A and B are shown apart, each in its own frame.
Chain A
Amino acid sequence: MLKGYVPPYNATVVQRLLDQGAVLMGKTNLDEFAMGSGSTDGVFGPVKNPWSYSKQYREKRKQKSHGENEDSNWLITGGSSGGSAAAVSAFTCFAALGSDTGGSTRNPAAHCGIVGFKPSYGLVSRHGLIPLVNSMDVPGILTRCVDDAATVLGVLAGHDPKDSTTIQDPGKPFMLSSLTDVSKLCIGIPKEYLVPELSSEVRSFWSKAANLFESEGAKVIEVSLPHTSYSIVCYHVLCTSEVASNMARFDGLEYGHRCDIDVSTEAMYAATRREGFNDVVRGRILAGNFFLLKENYANYFIKAQKVRRLIANDFVNVFNSGVDVLLTPTTLSEAVPYLEFIKEDNRTRSAQDDIFTQAVNMAGLPAVSVPVALSNQGLPVGLQFIGRAFCDQQLLTVAKWFEKQVQFPVIHLQELMDDCSSVFEIEKLASVSLKQ
């Protein structure tokens, strides 16, 4: 639909980075209109996870299968901001921007072994972010370490007059303090997130992480988010409804793709939208239109809004009871091969893969995925921290502490190693940027 469209203005987040001297290296691939959890449904083709070519993964695979074409079974990045995650993961840039509506930044971050940060809703301007679900979208930040994410957040956060949903405070850059004592911290483990589909490896990492906090003196307790089981359905009703509304503007009239049919306006709309949208997008629009029909509105849309309120209140109640930060998995498992991923359709996959991440968007809370360790297959696994609204700095502080504890390994890509072997000998941590 937006083929050949060059936007005549910069998004606020882009402009703020440029104003601070950032060099824009390029635009990355994603699922079309950010709908998907694999970055496999974009017009330019699917995104390949750099870890597919990592030494860590390759060595593990050599042990298992023989005579297989090296490239045929590459892995997905997760999505929808998979291109940005891949770019950061492969050391092509300092940071990348994504979007996060149901986990689209955190999911690929986990699969690509990097930090994926979702700010509190209202902290970072959405002016220039093509909307998917206006009430849940935020720009996401992808970096190789938590300090880098904090640096970027410091530049981006704060009031934007062009976005009426941003906070009033102007925002300013900040440095994360290095936490040494976690004894005053209370970590919550939501019991409803222990689902059968969770892979045993991820579950084990989650458990180890909880133990780590406890052994360092933090209070770790089990908490309950009782409406968790309703959140997928609620999310889909609200998401598709807003999508149907937001996509109504793509009619080929003012910008973007326009079909050749000019018999009538209606015919032109229909053909343009059929040609310009892929199946996933069209499917969601149809679903959303259904929920927005006058006769369905009260039963679906309004009900979903009410359930959303309940879900958000679950988090409020937990944070009010003394919990500082929640600890959960980010994904059900490590990244899967593309050929396996596409066996299920986009909608099914999204419903499965968003399970730990989308309630956060409905509640507007900040959350961050931090890589914890490599799986048995040599692939990254991430865990998620969820914080109180507008306590993004505190959240990142905890994440930074955790990152230092786990010492997640740097990706070993042959090309990189040949060029910068000296760097990797010294640094164990992922960032090749500013070091205090």
Chain B
Amino acid sequence: MAAPMLRGCCLGRCWALACIDSSSRHGRGAATGFTSSGKRGQSFVAQQPLLTAQKSRKGEHKWAAVVGLEIHAQIASNSKLFSGSQVHFAAPPNSLVSFFDASLPGTLPVLNRRCVEAAVMTGLALNCHINKKSLFDRKHYFYADLPAGYQITQQRLPIAVNGSLAYSVCVGKKWRQVITKTVRIKQIQLEQDSGKSLHDELRSQTLIDLNRAGVGLLEVVLEPDMSCGEEAATAVRELQLILQALGTSQANMAEGQLRVDANISVHHPGEPLGVRTEVKNLNSARFLARAIDYEIQRQINELENGCEILNETRSFDYKLGFMPEPNLPPLLLYDTASLPAGADPQQVINIDRIQEQLPELPSETREKLIQQYGILPEHSFALLNEVGLLEFFQNVIKETRAEPKKVTSWVLNIFLGFLKQRNLAVNESPVTPSVLAELLNLLDRKVISSAAAKQVFEELWRSKGKTPSQIVSERKLELMQDEEALERVCHAVMEGHPQVVMDTKRGNPRAINKLIGLVRKVTHNRADPTVIKEILEKQLSS
């Protein structure tokens, strides 16, 4: 029996009973996108029987959850972090592997400048302090997809620390109220990605693809300032948008460019924090919130039943510590004040210059939209939430005289609705911004009615090549411009339906709509309902 999902959680204390069906409970790592605790790459689900709704509601008011995140973002660079092999998604297996990536003896790491710049940009965008000196370490563990037996990372002294990420949660009725929350960023570090291993159970073998081994990653560690799956998912979404705006990572979760591990614990408010468990390798935005909430609920259930929370990752945590990476000297960054005189610009990185050249961040973009076009905050979020949608919107605005509010409404409701229904991306839309702009112009000039416009839009979507004006004239959708003729029609309809007229005069609010409907029918929907109403009211009162 499944329990209902609750949304719109209370601030500061968030609990949700996740809706679980049997397939997701026994999910394999790759398919559903999450593994809980346990070994890397293997799926491990808490062996917890699904509780009935009644049982899980016991004592629910007394719990608070605490969620921290470790986010791995693949850096958008041409070559890997320490070697010159290329970075490409979905290339043939083991076709992008240099001698260093394959850990051939005698090969040495050489740091990729672009990756360092990406780390600095991201650190600055997240209000971090950039460490002018940072160090590289080796983290040892044995796994088939880690050829060297260790990963080069930055444990002791990472490149950026102590930042913050602001995100907004929509609450209240119809999620109209926007609240800004902040999560602290503990650190950002550069590290190597591992290869991929595919377990072929049928033939009892493991296939290793090293294309991804050595690709540069930014690990962003978010402190446990979040309290539920929704907050975590929103924070991740905002980070995604920031990374995409900076160009430092494409941050596409489906392609594995953004991976999230969550640390979750529950406690009673006022008491110390509980034992943490890790939910690893979340690579689907949709599943992230649900998986976290499920784990929160699982812990609550365990504790309420008198059990203890076990941190299973500890057992896998390979016991070797970190060792400094001896082949890489400390990474030194400069600002304008500390830049050595006569330094070769190819060999040094100036933090100040990078700060100056930072592109506009999503929060700034949203603010500008609100200021410039007077749209609502939640609409500014929606516009940035879809790839290419903002650009589409801005292109439409450029070519139309219609009000921004109108454009927003059309883009977010009708246009986006059509896209979603057909599972298309913005760049796959058959309707271009110019075409939509033309349509809106017709609407703005009152050449057609709102209803007619929607019809035209549907037609535009189906058949390419036709302009809105063409469709309008083909289907004779122009609004009647002749007001006198309309007055005659109204008069005729009133004459033909005296009972309805009586009702209207008696004050029945719905009666007038009936009259309007009748007039529209006669005019084949070519009259503007607002004008019809005006004429009828004038005629009724006379």
Chain A contact residues, CB within 8 Å of chain B: 2, 7-9, 11, 126-131, 133-135, 161-165, 241-242, 245, 247-251, 253-255, 262, 265-266, 269, 289, 292-294, 297, 301
Expressed in whole angstroms, the Cα–Cα distance for A403 and B109 within the complex equals: 40
Extra contacts, 11 of them, besides A126-B108, A165-B326, A245-B138 (Cβ < 8 A), are A7-B104, A126-B106, A127-B106, A128-B106, A130-B106, A162-B108, A162-B110, A165-B327, A253-B144, A254-B104, A301-B323
Q: Which residue of B lies closest to A254 (CB)?
A: B102
**Taking the nearest CB of chain A, how far is it from the CB of B146, in angstroms?**
9
Query: Residues of B contacting A265 with CB < 8 Å?
Result: 144, 206
> Which residues of A sit under 8 angstroms from B107, Cβ to Cβ?
127-128
Min C-beta distance of A295 to chain B, whole Å: 8
B3-11, B147-155, B442-450: which lies at the interface: B147-155
Chain A neighbourhood of B103, CB < 8 A: 249, 254
Q: Mark B140-168, 1 if CB is under 8 A from A, else 0.
A: 10101001111000000000000000000
Contact partner of B109 (CB less than 8 A), chosen from A164, A241, A248, is: A164
Contact indicator A164/B327 (Cβ below 8 Å)? yes
Q: Check A242/B110 contact, CB under 8 A, given A2-B105, A249-B148.
A: no
- In angstroms, Cα B208 to Cα A163, docked, is 28
Q: Could you tell me if B147 and A253 are in contact, using CB atoms closer than 8 angstroms? A: yes
Known: A164-B111, A165-B329. A249 touches B147 (CB 8 A): yes
Which of A134, A251, A294 contacts B320 (CB under 8 A)? A294
B321: chain A residues at CB < 8 Å are 292-294, 297
Q: Are B142 and A8 in contact (CB under 8 A)?
A: no
Q: B99 on the interface (CB 8 Å rule)?
A: yes
Q: Contact at B148–A248, with CB atoms within 8 Å?
A: yes
Contact with A along B467-479 (1 / 0, CB 8 A): 0000000000000
Chain A residues with CB under 8 A of B320: 289, 292-294
Produce 1/0 per residue, B104-142, CB < 8 A to A. Answer: 111111110000000000000000000000000010101
Q: Which of A7, A8, A165, A294 sits near B319, CB closer than 8 Å?
A: A294
The answer, among A11, A163, A245, for a CB contact under 8 Å with B323, is A245
CB distance from B320 to the nearest CB of A (A): 5
Could you tell me the distance between the alpha carbons of A365 and B109 in the complex, rounded to whole angstroms? 23
Pairwise interchain contact A249-B109, C-beta atoms closer than 8 A? no
Check if A251 sits within 8 Å of B111, measured CB to CB.
no
**Interface assignment of B328: CB less than 8 Å from any CB of chain A:** yes
Residues of chain B within 8 A (CB-CB) of A128 are 106-107
- Nearest-Cβ distance from residue B113 to partner chain A, whole angstroms: 12
Chain A nearest CB, measured from B94 CB (Å): 10
Which of B240-283 touch A at CB < 8 Å? none
Which A residues are CB-close (under 8 A) to B204?
A: 262
Cβ contacts under 8 Å, A2 to chain B: 105
Residue in B closest to A251 when the chains form the complex, CB atoms: B149
CA distance A247 to B323 in the complex (A): 14
CB distance from A96 to the nearest CB of B (A): 18
**20 contacting pairs across A/B (C-beta < 8 A):** A2-B105, A7-B105, A126-B108, A129-B106, A131-B106, A133-B326, A135-B326, A164-B108, A164-B111, A165-B108, A165-B329, A242-B323, A245-B140, A249-B103, A253-B144, A254-B210, A262-B205, A293-B321, A297-B322, A301-B323
> Which residue on B lies nearest to A9, using beta carbons?
B99
**B contact residues around A163 at 8 Å (CB):** 108, 327
Residue of A nearest to B102 (CB): A254
Q: How far is the CB of B247 from chain A (nearest CB, A)?
A: 26
Query: CA–CA, A372 to B323, complex, Å?
Result: 41
Do A248 and B208 have beta carbons less than 8 Å apart?
Answer: no
Cα–Cα, bound, A297→B150 (Å): 16
**CA gap between A181 and B208 in the complex, in Å:** 64
Q: Please, which residues of chain B bring their CB within 8 A of the CB of A250?
A: 105
Q: Please give me the residue from chain B that is nearest to A305 by CB atom.
A: B324
Contact: B150 with A245, CB < 8 Å?
Answer: yes
Q: Tell me the nearest residue of chain B to A248, going by C-beta.
A: B149
Give bound CA distance, A254 to B110, whole Å: 21
Contact, CB under 8 Å: B150 / A248: yes
Q: How far is the CA of A242 from the CA of B319 in the complex (A)?
A: 16
Bound complex: CA of A126 vs CA of B208, how far in Å? Answer: 29
What 3 A-B pairs have minimum CB-CB distances, sorted nearest first?
Answer: A248-B149, A134-B326, A135-B326
Contact A8-B104, Cβ < 8 Å, known A241-B323, A245-B150, A293-B320: yes
Task: Answer whether A7 and B106 are a contact pair too, CB < 8 Å, given A265-B144, A292-B323.
Answer: yes
The winner among A126, A162, A241, A266 for most chain B CB atoms within 10 A is A162
State the CA gap A254–B322 with chains docked (Å).
24
A165 proximity list for chain B (CB < 8 A): 108, 326-327, 329
- Once the chains are docked, how many angstroms separate the CA of A9 from the CA of B106? 10
- Given A248-B142, A255-B102; A127-B147 close (CB under 8 Å): no
Q: Mark B327-353, 1 if CB is under 8 A from A, else 0.
A: 111000000000000000000000000
Shortest distance from the beta carbon of B236 to any chain A beta carbon, whole Å? 30
With beta carbons under 8 angstroms apart, the residue of A130, A164, A248, A292 that contacts B329 is A164
B208 to chain A, nearest CB (A): 7
Select one of B110, B149, B205 contacting A164, CB under 8 A: B110
Question: Which of B104, B140, B208 has the most chain A CB atoms inside 10 A of its CB?
Answer: B104
Q: A245-B140, A245-B323 are in contact. Are A161 and B110 (CB under 8 A)?
A: yes
Q: B104 contacts which chain A residues (CB < 8 A)?
A: 7-9, 254-255
| Chain A residue at smallest Cβ distance from B206 | A265
CB distance from B463 to the nearest CB of A (A): 56
Tell me which of B111, B149, B319 has the highest count of chain A C-beta atoms within 10 A of its own C-beta.
B149
The docked-state distance in angstroms from the alpha carbon of A130 to that of B106 is 4
Instruction: Name the residue among A162, A241, A254 with the largest chain B CB count within 10 angstroms.
Output: A254
What is the CB-to-nearest-CB distance from A389 to chain B, in angstroms, rounded to a whole number? 15
Measured CA separation A135–B142 after assembly (Å): 23
- In the bound assembly, the distance between CA atoms of A249 and B327 in angstroms comes to 15
The answer to whether A249 and B110 touch across the interface, beta carbons within 8 angstroms, is no
- In the complex, A134→B152 CA distance in Å? 14
How far does the Cβ of A16 sit from chain B's closest Cβ, in whole Å? 15
- Chain A CB count within 10 A is highest, among B111, B319, B326, for B326
Complex CA gap A9/B98 in Å reads 11
Residues in B268-318 with C-beta less than 8 Å from chain A: none
Contacts of B144 in A (CB 8 A): 253, 265
Contacts of A269 in B (CB 8 A): 142
Closest to A266 in B: B142
Instruction: Report yes or no: B329 in contact with A249, Cβ–Cβ below 8 A.
Output: no
